[in-house]
Amino acid sequence: MNKGKHIEFRDLNKQYLMLREPIQESISRVMERGDFIMGEEVLKLEYQLSEYVGVKNCITCANGTDALNLILMAWGITKGDLVFIPNFTFFATAEVVALQGATPVMIDIDQDTFNMDPIKLENAIQRSIQVNQLKPKAIITVDLFGLPANYRAIEAIAKKYGLYLLEDGAQGFGGKIGERKACSFGDAATTSFFPAKPLGCYGDGGAIFTNDDHLMEMIKSLRVHGKGKDKYDNVKIGLNSRLDTLQAAILIEKLKAFQDYELEAVNQVAKWYSERLQHSVKVPSIPQEYYSSWAQYSIQLESKEQRAHLIAALSQEGIPTQIYYPKPMHMQTAFKNLGYKQGDFEITEKVCEVILSLPMHPYLNEETVDFISQKINLIK
Ligand SMILES: *Cc1c(COP(=O)(O)O)cnc(C)c1O
């Protein structure tokens, strides 16, 4: 059935072919006007994104990593501060904390949702208060693989201990808890428009969301060299971190498709997978009231060996897979000075050994999901 047909892990080309005309027209308009930096589509996109998410302010920037950096800079996070982050994430979540001179505190995850475990978070906060050396300042949650973190619990913890809460929604855009959309939780939130994210552009891009007007003004200055009245009046040390007008023009078209059918389609694909795979492997679990934007569809195998065997066998069938993520933050060489060791994080370490992400995108059809699932059920 799929003989000779190539299966993409995330099919960006298919999406482009669907949206080619509006995207090309959108690009042409920018080329003809020539307002490549902070042109009219940038403001238009920021408005549309803030409306979609349901947050007062949206500020775009150069990428999802800068989005995190800009918020930490605006909050004055620095040497001597502790920032609590999930141990199972993409490196950027931890990296930005260290880049600002602060110390990341890794927190173990929940094995069902892959997101930060609130009980372990509170334990770590209490321990750091007892040790009383570095100052607990902020929590960064991650909406891993498209599923919002446990905000009901974590927002309460942030409030109880007087900590800033930053939602890293790089993978979470489009997710929901009840009627509250991803990128609306905490004091501020970020997302990334890296091409493979749920809402991606054709290069790098990112955005910040907040209801805090003061924070928004700070970040507008920080993203253009800490500008005061203009960019030749510099009142603080900032970055050069703007979203290109061309990328904004592309994103306006992609956001339409995302809202109109892509988000629904990718949820349908997840349903097809889970129906077919639930009796043979551990499939992702979505808690009641939660809605995922499915940045990844990740199954869990019984062992590292079983996973290796499955990857090889699927590859033989032309089915690509990915391991997100092979290594927890506490085992990264860049963090060896923090003094963590193997065995410190039971769940994260286990998940790194058994997790496997399958081809996932809104343009995957039922026949292909059937083919992939049959192979997995057979091989496994
Ligand atoms: C992709 C990603 C980032 C960084 O986004 P970029 O746009 O690539 O800089 C940050 N956090 C998480 C969880 C991510 O997945």
Task: Give the separation between CA 234 and CA 226, rounded to whole angstroms.
Answer: 5
Q: What integer pLDDT is reported at residue 380 of this predicted model?
A: 79
Q: Is 142 in the pocket of ligand 1 (CB under 6 A)?
A: yes
Q: What integer pLDDT is reported at residue 5 of this predicted model?
A: 66
Q: Is 143 in the pocket of ligand 1 (CB under 6 A)?
A: no
Peptide bond connecting 47 to the previous residue in cis, omega within 30 degrees of 0? no
Query: Against a cut of 0.95, is the pTM above it?
Result: yes
Mean pLDDT lowest among 1-15, 28-42, 43-57, 261-275: 1-15
Atom of ligand 1 nearest to the CA of 93: 11
Residue 279 has pLDDT above 60, yes or no: yes
Q: What integer pLDDT is reported at residue 64 of this predicted model?
A: 98
**Can you list the alpha helix ranges (DSSP code H) found in the chain?**
12-33, 40-53, 64-74, 92-99, 118-131, 151-161, 213-222, 245-257, 263-277, 304-316, 346-354, 366-379
Residue 236 has pLDDT above 70, yes or no: yes
Atom of ligand 1 nearest to the CA of 89: 13
The stretch 19-39 carries a mean pLDDT of 98
Q: Is 64 in the pocket of ligand 1 (CB under 6 A)?
A: yes
The 3-state DSSP class for residue 229 equals coil
Query: How many residues in the chain?
Result: 380
Task: Output the CA 166–ligand 1 centroid distance in Å.
Answer: 14
Specify whether the CB–CB gap between 158 and 165 falls below 8 A.
yes
Task: Output the CA 233–ligand 1 centroid distance in Å.
Answer: 31
Residue 218 has pLDDT above 60, yes or no: yes
